[in-house]
Amino acid sequence: MKYSIKQQFIDFIEAAVICSLVILLVYAFAGQPLRVQGSSMVPNFTDGEQLIAEKITIKTEELKRGDIVIVKHPARLDRLVIKRVVGLPNEVFLIKEGLVYINGASLNENYLPTDVKTLGGEAIKESVEYQIPEGDYILMGDNRENSTDSRNWGALKKDLIVGKAFVIYYPLSKARLIS
């Protein structure tokens, strides 16, 4: 049975519309491709790496310390930034002598090079305890000397978190799942 050119064209348009809708739904609700820009997450993420941020688990599970998240920049909501969850809701957070303390205990940040020192900022000052409000998170870049983060903005509301980094897919030499 031969299709007419008109029927082939209609079938093509139908398939294109369905594919476009599926892609749009996945982008809006499940995952979003992003490109790392800047050096705030060096050495763990570098400028130009491309990743997929998944959007489902931030709605179904609690964030954990160490999660890599994509958030709306609090001063420029149209801009997305990548940061690490360091402080959780209702915790007492302190930066003192280059270290981070959670509820009085020094935080083991094994994802950072051993020589990294964390200094206070405008919103979270050195040697001042900070009670993280319910529903808020302290987020920091891994490159603490070159990161604008919660130390400058304060704790961020969960609704500013867009997704969790899931996989680096480009460049292929650095492709990996993000845990």
> CB-side exposure of 151: number of CA atoms within 13 Å?
24
Question: Which three-class secondary structure state does DSSP give residue 15?
Answer: helix
Residue 134 and residue 157: Cα distance in Å, rounded? 9
Instruction: Give the containing element (helix H, strand E) for 23.
Output: helix 5-29
CB 151 within 8 A of CB 120: yes
The DSSP secondary structure of 51-107, one letter per residue, reads: EEEE-SHHHHS---TT-EEEEEETTEEEEEEEEEEEE-TT-EEEEETTEEEETTEE-
Catalytic residue positions, numbered: 40, 83
Instruction: Give the containing element (helix H, strand E) for 8.
Output: helix 5-29
Which stretches of 115-178 are assigned E, i.e. beta strand? 130-131, 136-140, 156-157, 161-170, 176-177
